[in-house]
Structures are given as C-alpha cells and as structure tokens.
Amino acid sequence: MTTRLRGAARPAGTGPAAVIAGIGTAFPGLLDQQNLWDEYFDRRCGGDRVARRIFLGCGVRTRHAVVDPRDEDVSGWSTGARMRRYVRDAQPLGLRAATAALADAGLSAADVGLFVVVSCTGYSTPGLDIQLARELGMSERARRLVIGHMGCYAAIPGMGTAADFVRARGLPALVLCVELTSLHVQPVPEGGGRDLEQVVAHALFGDAAAAIVLMPDAAGLEVLDTTAATAPASEDLMTWEVTDHGFRMGLSSKVPDVLASHVEAATTALLDPFALGLADVQGWAVHPGGPRIVDVVEERLGLDRARTDPSRQILDTRGNCSSATVLLVLERLRGTLDVGAPAVGMAFGPGLTLCLALLRRR
C-alpha cells in the first residue's frame, strides 16, 4: 500500500527536491567468517571458547577486506604504515563506487556541483576528494567537503549537507563513503589474555565503498529531512581512538540499551513535522551495527522482521562497513518502495549519536 505525505511543511527548506537518483557500491576481496576464525583468529585468541562464540555468533557470514589477515598480518603495523596502505587501496575502491553511482543516475562527473567524501578509517592530504575529483573529471569549480572520524552514522550528515546544497543551488551532488576497517586489526594484548571488546570489533567490521548521487527534481528517493539525537552522558560508550597502532574501537555492551531508550523519540521527532506515524513508513534502512542493534530497533519501533530483513542481509553478507553500511541497505531497499511511500534511514555511532533521514520514493 502506498502512503503519501499528508500536506506537511518541509522542515528542510524550499527549492527543488533533492533526490537520490543513483547509488553505486564497490567491495574488495571476499572473506568467509568461519575460515577467518579457523585460520587466524582462533590462534590469535588462544582457542578461547567465549571469543569463538562471539566471533561466529555476530550475525556475519561473509565480508570484504583489502587486507586478509591470513596472508598479511597488519596488527603490528604503525599508524603511518596503515595510512599509506589506506591511500593505496581507498582510491580505486572509491573510484569504482562513485563511477557506478554516476552511471546509475545518468550524470556526468563534470556536472557535479558538490563532492562529499566520508571516511573514518584513513586520512591523507591531498585527500580522496582531490584525487577522485580529478580522476572522475569533475569541474575545477566543483565544491568539495570531507567528513572524517564521525563513524558509522556519517553518511546521513553527508546526505543532509548534499541535499541542502541541491535545494539551495539546483546543482547535483555526489556523496562517497569509503571505509577500510580491515587496516585496524589491533595488536594482541600485552601478556596475552582476551580482549572481548576487540573480538567484537574484529568480528563485525568489513570494508566497502558506497556512493549516492543527489539531483534536483529527479526520479528516485527524495531526501525530505535529516536529523540527529545524541544521548546524554554516553560519550565513553563507543569510541574510535587514534593510537600508535591504527585506530582502536571502544564498544560498550550498554550501547543497545542506550539506543533502546532513545530510538523511538528520535524517530518520532523526524516524522512528526510531516504528520507521519511509525505505521506510515514503508521502508526501513537500519544500520546493522550488530544483530542486537537491529533487534532493539525492531522491538522499540514495533517493526515486524520483514522490515529489517534488508539490514540483516547486509550484516550477513557484508558485515558492518561503518559509514557505507546504511547506503548499502538503502540500495537493497529502494526497489521495494511504492511511489509516494516514505522510508527512514538511520545509523548510530560515537556520541552516542543517532542520525536519521526521511526519504520518499518519487
């Protein structure tokens, strides 16, 4: 059934509609979760049964990585060495995703007015924005913006900024997320022993690039609004710390409970200005930070399992690809929406922050 927006004002402003008209993705080599445990992480974790249960029970069956730890153990690498590897591998992966998104939208790179690059897994200057703008053939007048170190939710602020640009300028925008989490396998703890926080991080994350093209008044998914909510006194629950040996994930077991306390209010705040309720939303692109995260959203918003299947499928086959993940879910979801139907994208990350986007199929 098609649900149409009921004459509400557009909080995001006036101007042409900002529409996701193209989506493109790219992945490095495929890894099997069971084989990764058997051939690398089992030995690294000393055969620990709890670690094994976590690693093989995290909802990931396959994922992608630029570094296969069975062939190349980067856990002892310096941060500088990891950043050099990021520069080498992120550029071709991002180029593939951006090229695919432009082709999907039927747009020439020369017509892009704003290029947004999102990544929290590597940095260089000149960065991917400059390198890829040149390789793609963008105009020298194209604006560029880099969003770094926001984490898993960063695609939505990128999307919102690009949508504002499209509405204000009437020009297309390209948003690219590139994440190479496999570069940040951490050293074994001093003195041995298990670090279950790192077991979770090493079990969940995969590498990917995902891009969206936003165009004025096109067919596709209109970005009606984006919003964010940050839970108070939650800064230490999820962290992404720059260390001498890459970036280290801090992940508290309290994250699902804190998310459970805020997701309904945050979603309602997104929908209310459009006179929409939860039951009016046809599609849900939920960032699958882990199986429990998806469970919590499902429970608190009263969604049936079919509504979160696209998120669980991405977790199963791709893992958690940080900022790129919600766009991967959106790509899977978009063909299932009726014209005029609303959809919600949501992602979660450090802060503890929830970012949401309200979309409508045109």
- How far is the C-alpha of 224 from the C-alpha of 197, rounded, in Å? 37
Query: In the block, which residue shows the tokens 């469970």?
Result: 295
- How far is the C-alpha of 323 from the C-alpha of 320, rounded, in Å? 9
- Asked if the bond preceding 69 is cis, omega within 30° of 0, the reply is no
Closest Cα to residue 196, out of 258, 257, 238, 251?
Answer: 251
Query: In the block, which residue shows the tokens 């989490």?
Result: 181
Closest Cα to residue 226, out of 294, 145, 165?
Answer: 165
From the list 45, 152, 177, 321, the catalytic residue is: 152
Active site (annotated) includes residue 321? no
Strand partners, 31: 63
Residue 130 carries which side chain, given as an amino acid letter? Answer: I
Cβ–Cβ < 8 Å for 328, 314: yes
Instruction: Return the structure tokens found at 71.
Output: 């062939």
- How far is the C-alpha of 242 from the C-alpha of 330, rounded, in Å? 30
Residue 241 carries which side chain, given as an amino acid letter? Answer: E
Cβ–Cβ < 8 Å for 117, 134: no
Q: Which residues contact 221 (CB under 8 A, 6 or more apart)?
A: 19, 20, 330, 334, 337, 343, 359, 360, 361, 362
Instruction: Return the structure tokens found at 78.
Output: 């310096």
Residues belonging to the active site: 152
